[in-house]
Structure 1
């Protein structure tokens, strides 16, 4: 049969997080009791103030085409958030509002990468970074940081990965899947290396910024001396404000890069949803205080879930300072019967729990479980995981 699909699309995989969620739903539809801890979606409702602003936007007829980069007052609200929370000063023309943070990242990669350019993506990494970079013609270089170094790359690793062909460095802090967070001194050490490679643009994915639990203060990479003019700071409403379905992300960047992303976005989606923008503006201006209860709930779940997981005798379970994932080291369980973490994920699925294998994040030997689920589901899931692993 003749394939009518492009080589680019045929080379692109469905993100493993989505694939596992689909598999879980299919089994649930068959009547099986599957607890899905595969997706990174808060189980809370959108804050009332954001919902009210969205409804008001409908009633006030915000139903027409909007500026590609977002309404002026919404971009001003994003600028207010960056200044208040991150000590970053962005003008309106440096901000682009997009249909989710994923589109912000895609816009940036399309604006920056030529075929053959190298993109450094430290592992573990979010599942979409690699495919997006390769779709744009980039060549991915992934230095690996395991739990032995708290899932954070060192300056030496970064220097070894860099070359004259490097165009972009992408990293997230807090990290998905590990929850790792870079301290200010660690970011400054990475920046010192980057000063020898002035052609490199940094994409700092800070979507989990609000989901940090006090052990490591969040610090924006663009604050470091000399990095502001070469860094795009990406964030959005999905994680911190439980607004995944509203599809609203944003970025702050040097004006030349924001203009390029505006051009890219104008050809793909134009402006983000007008109603979502009104809701996001209200939430951003209110700040993180109205959603602090979510952070406290996730912190409580983290402690209880991780404690329960540790009853699996050989499972290595570290306490992540951010995000809402347990990224557990299952290498002691790998053997001839279950040689990979992907095989072990399938084994756990047979025992009623869906996770995501470390292969999806560039670090085989680990499994990611989301604790953005009800406490009762987490309790049952942890018991199933421990019992299944202890039976091996």
Structure 2
């Protein structure tokens, strides 16, 4: 009888895609296990080691026996560190009941959607977007409303586009700065213009995903409530230690926002992941308390790597990329490769074909732009060893030179 049992999946699961970035990484691991040389320029994490003082804090926590359950929403020490960080670095004041630590920023964003969306509520998602936003909205029974942000507009949501997208069922707008996948950074004037629209629509909340906050090249970071304090009561700031502190595997994110929302997110967390690991929380508290003096050297290295990618790819026929302002991605226009044929005669019709060709021919993993809601582009992550990056870019160039252009 059990052999004939058919599992029936819930509709909410069938609405989801598998994470494209995770799928690329798994494909690369499989190829490497077969003995292939493949460089992964598709994964969103720094290659730098977690700073020593943060690792020491984790070790100290273990030795002190800090290995038990904690409060669901985070230890008092971590919450205090989050509050101090937001006050000192961002000029924003929050109470303990207005902050939460979770198992990565990703779970906090999902819990915010689950806590607030009714079936059919709309969430404005500017494209290009991080791959998980639309799926998390759908999982929470909401409707993602995709608003395209063009390259010639700096990849940023314009106030007139925001105004046009807002309807009676709009519940959220998601803003990600610095942006994944484009590296775009919103400045004070741009936030002020968006704030002017949002003040006219009090039913719309703002989810500000600031996970790449420290990874900027020239423009200063600002939080939306700094520019327009009247929006603080309906803004959820989401951040964490994964990207800026090279702690992706530690799985600690945090959020700050209205007490009612934070409380609901904590209830959801209590019935799902519960608290982040006690050891990771101790490390995250140390990260937030100890300052960011190490980041300058990281930015210098990332800038040189960014310049390598831009230099090589802009000299490669069929590629065109603008200079990102932050994060560690280049979002590359590959329209010039569409219509070409591979040496084996396969027609390149879209950006997925481009990514597949680069993986197979050049041994380089990148993510196709359609995964981020914008074609024809590919995302290249340059947070890898500089020599590896240079060699990978050279193989991309050589692979593209093998393509047969349409006559």
TM-score by length of 2: 0.94
1:3 Cα deviation after fit: 3.5
Number of the residue aligned with 1:372:
383
1:153 is the counterpart of 2:157: yes
Q: Work out whether 1:8 is the aligned partner of 2:26.
A: no
Which of structures 1 and 2 has the bigger CA Rg?
A: 2
Please name the residue that 1:361 is paired with.
Answer: 372
Q: Secondary structure of 1:227's partner?
A: helix
SS in structure 1 of the partner of residue 302 of structure 2:
helix
Given candidates 196, 202, 207, the residue that maps to 2:211 is: 207
- Report the alpha carbon displacement of residue 72 of structure 1 after superposing the two structures with TM: 1.0
Task: Say yes or no: does 1:345 pair with 2:345.
Answer: no
Match of 2:125 among 111, 121, 124: 121
- RMSD (Å), alpha carbons: 1.2
Between 368-377 and 311-320, report the one with greater CA deviation: 311-320
**Where does residue 173 of structure 1 map in the other structure?**
177
CA distance in 1, matches of 2:402, 2:152: 26
Equivalent residues of 2:313, 2:320 under 8 A apart? no
Match of 1:235 in 2: 239
Match of 2:190 in 1: 186
Number of aligned positions between the proteins? 391
TM-score when normalising by structure 1: 0.97
**Distance apart, 1:93 and its partner CA:** 1.3
Cα drift, residue 212 of structure 1: 0.3
Contact 2:123 2:137 in 1 (8 A): yes
Partner SS for 2:144: strand
Match of 1:84 in 2: 88
Q: State the 1:16 CA deviation.
A: 0.5
Whether the 8 Å CA contact 1:97–1:272 is kept in 2: the answer is yes
Counterpart Cα distance in 2 of 1:116 and 1:354: 36
CA distance in 1 between counterparts of 2:320 and 2:331 reads 9
Gaps in structure 1 of 5+ consecutive residues: none
Q: Which residue of 1 aligns with 2:221?
A: 218
Offset at 1:224?
A: 2.5
Alpha-carbon distance in structure 2 between the residues aligned to 1:307 and 1:120 = 34
Q: Distance in 1 between matches of 2:305 and 2:134?
A: 30
Residue equivalent to 1:253:
257
Structure 2: gaps spanning 5 or more residues:
341-346
